[in-house]
Every structure is written in structure tokens, then in C-alpha cells.
Chain A
């Protein structure tokens, strides 16, 4: 057994996290920063942080992930990291020539209290930031929140630093897509295009972290929101923030800073959440929904009606990030599946309440926990087994031990491809999720059914 020491005896733990269902802020900040065109993320801390984040993002995307580090030593930790950051900025612009450097802090630089605004000003004063180039930062202490908080903080920092209000409105909508895959950001742009809504999507990691093989390496690939586009977000008709945790703060910051009205929606994962997204986008931009979208929606509905017998009453255990889990739970409930064990590692009070509301009609007990860990989730599964598990790659250890079908969903996915190319948002994304679920459930039925009832047509 891979998790041979995990028993079904659930004991309350106050201090020990076993098998985390979250990671720390800076990696989310690094990921968000890669969604700006020509941006080099920079980790202000020990070089190990940067190495770990780059490694994890690289394993997840199978793409280059470049970022600088201030490489703190013991001396820098005592005397402050100003000299390191100023030197890093100088070296980065001299050697790599990015348009923008997005600095995020770490537990180290936060604990010693480095003032990044002041250090950046110092770098600017001493001529280390070339004309027309930018350095901005987000505060992302690893001991607060999770990787989602870090993504959220970096996205908000884009607004704080770049959004401008010229006084002249533009016929465009800001869409903050949330902590989703490059493929999802691409899909959101495709839907907006189908609806003929000009939009600025930020951050936008499509064509950055799912780029083509051309035989020529470009450190700054063609994707990403440009600084010029970011500046115009203050003149947009409105902002749609997708995912309360990841996109809410940036959407609200645009409202506060530039008086751009915002709506914060759930991530458009599944039928109902996508309906709300399309409807909100239609209203905000004042357009009609094209028939192309209706057809896509109809196809998703069609699969649900065709295959409902395989969804109905199936127990599911979910683990991952709050924004994703809220929409995914709603989606599964909408096809009459029963998500019964739902855990996120990210702390937050509203999550549990929201999941309770979504799952209130499920006729069996539902366990939900924010700030939980995968060990506890596994124990819940031991006590009340499920038909399906959804979560990141680490869930495969439980899947093998418990012999339960498993669909990879969330971050990180280290052992399969697909997530960076094929979306899970929108109606087409919903279709992909259902296809994946059906594949594992029906494979299991094929594997386990007695020979006499082995089905040809399913």
C-alpha cells in the first residue's frame, strides 16, 4: 500500500498537516505573472523558493518557466535584501531584456520586512530600470492563504500598478479568468469572440505555457496580456471576475481605482456557471448571444440527457482549490451526481457555507472542509467510500490503494498532459469533464462486470 499508515480513525489535528491540499502563495504569483507578455517573474527570497516554483510549474505544463531570484544568503537575511534585488533588476534587464519584471515576496523577505516599493524606487533612481520598462510587485507571504491567494494578489497588483483611467470609455470588457489553465483562458477568449465582445483577459497564460515547438526558443513567447492592454482596463465598460478568491480582489480594485463596475462570478465550469458567465457577458457588453453558443450549450445538455443513468447517484470525492471546487460541485450536482467529501487546503469561511448550499439536496451526508488536508480526505473516503475521486496528481496514490476511479483535475497535474491544451471551462469544457468521468466510470464497469452481463452498447 502506498499510504500504508492511513487508517479510518479520524483524529482531530491542530498542528500537523499531512499531505497538503494547497501550496504557498509565491507559486501562484509566479504563474499569474507569466500571463503578462514579456514578463519575467522574480522571487524575492532564497533561491530555493524560485527553484521549487519553477520546477513544479514546469512539471505541470511541460514548458519553460523562467524566473529570477534574489538568492538571499544569511547576510541578506540579516541586513535586508535591497542590494540583492537592485542587483537582480540590473542583471535581468541587462541580460534578458524583459518588458516587465513582476516581483513577488516570500516568507523570508516578508518576515524581515523588506519594503519592495522603496527598493524598486531606488532601482529606478539609480537607472537600473530602462526607459519604457517596468518593475512592480505583489506581497505574497507564504504563511498566509495559499497558492490561490498568491495568484489573486499578483493579479490585483497588475491593476494597482498599470490600470489607468483616461476618462474616455472603451467598448471592451475586462475578464479576469481566475487561476485556470492556459487552455481555459484561450476558451474564455474564444467564447467572448464568438459573442463579438472585445475584451482584455488578464492574466493570460495562453501561448505562454502551452506554446508550440518551433525549434527556436523564445524566452518571451507571443502570449500574455500586454502592458498597453492592462493600462486600458481602467477605461473598459466593466469587469467580470471569474472565481471569487482568485479574481475578486483585482475586479474590485479596478472598481475602486478607475470606477469600472465589476461582477464577480463563479468560474465558468459546468452548465450553470457557464450560463451565468455568458449571460453576464451579454448584459455587460450589450450583445446578443450567437447561435454558435446555443449549439455548444445544447451539445453539453445532450450528453447529460444521453448518459444520465451513469451519473445519477454516483458518490464523488473532490479535493482542490475553492473557486474550482465550488463550480465543479455545482456541475456534478446538476447532473445528479453526489459529491460527498469536499476538501480544499485553502483556508476561508465562506467555502464551506457555499458547498453546503450547493449540496443541500443530496440525500446522503456530505463532508466539507476548508483548510483541510489530503490525509483527512482519504480517511473520510475510507469511512464512506466513493465511486469517483477528482483532484490533482497526488490523488493517484489513494486511487491505487483504494481501487477507486480517478479523474485528474486541478493543480498540479504532474503525470498527464491535456490540461494545458483542452479546457474545462465553458460548455465545451463541461463536455470534456463529462467525457473524462464517463471514461473512468465505464472502464470500471467493463472491468468489474461479470462476463454474462458485459455490455457491448453503453
Chain B
């Protein structure tokens, strides 16, 4: 209903014209490429949407939001695990910049538990190693890390020069694993691999799946045991989701990878269901776990109170046990009144305001839920490093052509494990659940849920950001730290949706309340009215003076 009447999201602005304006200044080749990465949304009856070119090379010099493969691998996927020593093999910068800067919180069980999250480990490669090779120094560094900290596992992350000079981090890992008797494994996540952080996610998924998942068959307690995938505990999101799960008596075997530990990864294959938050960064692990161990996966979203309730109900549907469904309904019924109270209060002040979201590989989608709940409209959105399926849905997967950059990222060939494979549901049961509306292995993407006429922009750059702000004057813009202050200097409040500024949690029920309050604070902040001094508002001098 709502979608049909919103042919154009701002009645006096034609989105096709906006698109033209955004690319008018570009050199011809750049304009051609960008025009394929910018779409005016149109969802047809079969939920088909326009094609958006994504996961392609960044155009040099455009001032992109994107980072690199190392950032996706070490920074995003493996960074949040507290008890693995994450050793960066390379010059000092990469380790330094990824040191504690992502706000992925962790809580060790007790004072004796390992927690290396606050530390930064690097081989601090020097010119000598660039010339003569760095493997010797890497081995020494691993030995020193072992001698000083006695970790259960050490992970090695390769930076750009490592691949170029031919250091074999995997060979070193194998040698040191044998020597020390602890798990040592490497990631070839050199910054130039792929076209964005996304390549690093894939490399991280492959590594953690190959070297850690499945090492420990001990089945931990709990009747409903799941893994939460693609949740990184920024600002404590995973803590809030865990709280809700606990109340529902759903046991999380492992989170990939917010507040996670090495031991959790090791027996994550004993879970009975994988639920995916960030499809982009972790779908590979879900797919591989299904093939190798027989664990089905479903897409969930705990951003937004309604979305949280919906996701919990999906889990209930999967287990199909009245006691679980009933408990979940009780939890929802208990949590919602407070959410509703705040939502309605905030909605009265935020209704109709415009938001734009350009961030990540899932959040630009998920956070639209929260804005919708307080009556705000998302008129433009896009991802920094997503693929077409994150925009258009997994139905386009067969149509995605692999380019040279994607082919360079290894695709593991996985087969059912002769001993550990155990389908959690028979194909009949799966079919029955599907008929009842539960979708397995499916993500419909961001665009199917966005109104017609909204703008979808992949890998937005600084220039396009400025144009959007100039044309639409949104009430809030969401992106990352690099974009933040340029946007705020144009008089528009800016919310970071990578790190949440210093806020959070925004997931689950309490998170929704936090987010409503935060957006209310930001879009109704007084300071934006004070940009001009009185003499700038009224520059003319009065005609008469006091002494006249």
C-alpha cells in the first residue's frame, strides 16, 4: 500500500534527474561505470528489481569509502575473537590502525580467561625483510608470542608486501604449529586482493572454516542450539541478542564473531541451525557448514524491534516446538510495551523526516527497519562493499559473472564430512517448513524492501555524497567515520553505522529503544539552528544610531 503511493519519494524531485546530475561531471568512462552502479528502485510483482553493478573495482581517485581485504579479514571477521593472537605480518601501520578501533566488545568469562583483544601484535617489517624475505622474522615473532603469552591459537594476517615478496605465511604456520603444538594458521589477505573488504571476509571465512570449525565434537548443553553468524558485537549488539536468546532458552554455540572465543568456533558445527545477520560477510561459512555438516541456515535481522520479533519467530518455526514458540511469544510480549512507548513518543517528533544510509554490506538494509519504525523515510541507500545478491536478492546468484578480481579469491570445495555430516532436518521436513513459509538459504536483498523511486547507489564516493545532500537535504545521513565530519559541516547530522559513534547496542529490543532515542536526539538537536550569527542573518546596519 505504502509503496504504491510513493512513486517518487520526494514529490518535486525526479530520481532519474538526480542520477543524471550525479554523474554529469565525470569523465566519460567513469560516468558509464557509475551509471551502472546507481539505480532508481522499482520492485515489480515478482519482486524483481533493477540490476546494480556491485563488487567491482573502485575507480581510482574518486574518494571512496572502501577499505581493503586485510581490513575485512583481520579487522572485521577475526578481530572480535578475544583469545586468538592475531599477528599482523607486515609494516607497522596495518596492525596499528586496526588496533581497538572497531568497537567490537568482548567479555571474558573470568579474570583468568585469555583476552588479547586490547593488544596489537605485529612483525613490524623493516626494509631488510622486504629485500631478503620476512619468513624468518615471522617465525621468531610467533615463537616470542608463544613464549610470552601462551595462547591457544595464533592467526597470521598477510599485508600487501608479504604477497609481493613471496613470504609463505601458510608454510610458516604449518611449521610453527608442529613445533609449538598449538593451532597456528595464516590468512593471505593482502590489501590488494579483491576490490574491497569483501574479499577479506571470504578469505577469513575460508580460513576459520578450514583450520578451526569442527575441531571439537563436544556437544554443549541446550535444547535449541544455534550459531549466530555475521554479528560482530559493535557497541554490545551481541550482548543484547544473547540476553534475548537466553530468555527464550535458545543456546548460542558460537557467534561469528562478536564476543567469540576460539573454543566456540571449534564446536560450532554441533549447532542445529545457523542464523545469519550480515549476509555479506559470513554467508560462505553458513554455506560450507551446511554442505559439510548438514546445518541449515536462515537469514535473520535483529535490527529493529519488529524485525527482532520476526526473527525469533522464524527460529521457533524451525524448531517447531510449542514450548519454544510460547516462550518466544512471552518474551516478545514482555519486551514490546516499553519499545512501543518510546517508539510512539519518538515517532511524534521524527515522522516524515528523511534518512540516507550508505554503509557496509548489510546495515544499509537493516537500519531502514528502525527508521521505518519511527516514521522516517529512507530515500537513498547503498553498500560500501556488497555484491549484487545483497541488493537484488540471492535469486540473481546464478547470473553473477565472476570477474578476475573475484576469481583470485579461493572458493573452497566442500563435501559432506564422512563422520560429522548429519542433516538436522530431513528433506521432507525442510520442504514442509518451506511450504509453511520458512525460507532457507535465502536473502531477498535490500531493494525488494525499498519503495519505488528511491535511489540505490553502490560504492558511493565523496562527490556523490555531497550532491545527494545538496539535492535532498536529508534530516540524517548514515555512513562511516571518514564521511562523518564533511556531512556534518554541511549542516546535516551524521550517524556512524559502522562503529555507532560511541553508542549502542542498537540490536534487539533494548537496542531499538537506544536507536530511537539517538535519532531523536540527532534530528532534533538545537545546534543546527545556530549556524548563522545574528549579524549574518541580518547583515544590514540599522538606519539610526543610539546617539541620533
Contact = CB atoms under 8 A, between A and B. Distances in A.
Nearest to B197: A48
Given A71-B58, A108-B191, A144-B126, A47 B67 contact: yes
A66 B485 CA distance: 10
Interface in A15-36: 15-20, 22-27
A143 B126 contact: yes
B313 interface: no
Interface string B120-137: 111111110110000001
Contact of A23 (B97, B115, B531): B97
A89 to B, nearest CB: 7
A74 B70 CA distance: 13
Contact of A47 (B64, B90, B481, B489): B64
A66 B486 contact: yes
Contacts of B485: 58, 62-64
A91 B62 contact: yes
Nearest to A51: B67
B506 to A, nearest CB: 20
A42 B486 contact: no
A23 B124 CA distance: 10
B491 to A, nearest CB: 4
Nearest to B120: A19
Contact of B61 (A72, A76, A87, A142): A87
B145 A45 contact: no
A215 B531 contact: yes
Contact of B137 (A15, A47, A146): A15
Contacts of A111: 130, 160-161, 164-165
Interface string B170-206: 0000000000000000000011111111000000000
Contacts of B96: 20, 22-24
B160 A108 contact: yes
Contacts of B141: 15-16
B57 interface: yes
Contacts of A317: none
A55 B160 contact: no
Contacts of A75: 404-405
A197 interface: no
Nearest to B72: A48
B71 A52 contact: yes
Given A15-B144, A88-B61, A90-B61, A143 B160 contact: no
A142 B119 contact: no
A46 B111 contact: no
Nearest to A414: B101
Nearest to B200: A48
Nearest to B405: A73
B191 A94 contact: no
Interface stretch (B23-31, B263-271, B428-436, B518-526): B23-31
Contact of A68 (B61, B116, B143, B192): B61
B363 interface: no
B488 interface: yes
B191 A14 contact: no
B346 to A, nearest CB: 25
B135 to A, nearest CB: 11
A214 B533 CA distance: 10
A215 B490 contact: yes
A292 B83 CA distance: 58
Contacts of A95: 25-26, 61-62, 463
18 contacts: A5-B148, A13-B148, A16-B140, A19-B99, A27-B93, A47-B64, A47-B66, A48-B70, A49-B191, A51-B66, A56-B101, A69-B58, A74-B193, A95-B61, A108-B164, A143-B125, A144-B126, A215-B532
Shortest Cβ-Cβ A-B pairs, 3 listed: A48-B68, A24-B93, A88-B61
